[in-house]
Amino acid sequence: MAATVTDALVADPLLLAPIIASVESALTMCDTVARCVGISMVPCRDAGCITGMIGVHGEVSGFITVNMAQRVALSMVGRLLQDRCDALSAQVIDGVGEITNLIAGGIKKGVAGTPWRFSHVTVPSVIIGQNYHIAFARGLKYLCVTFEHQNEEALLLEDRLIQVAISLLRL
Q: 128 has which bridge partners?
A: 50
One-letter amino acid of 147? F
CATH top-level class for 13-170?
alpha beta
* Percent of the chain clearing pLDDT 90 (strictly above): 67
How large is the angle between the packed helices 70-81 and 90-111, nearest 10 degrees?
80
Tens-place pLDDT, residues 22-45: 999 999 998 888 899 999 998 877
| Annotated domain spans of the chain | 13-170
What's the whole-model pTM score?
A: 0.90
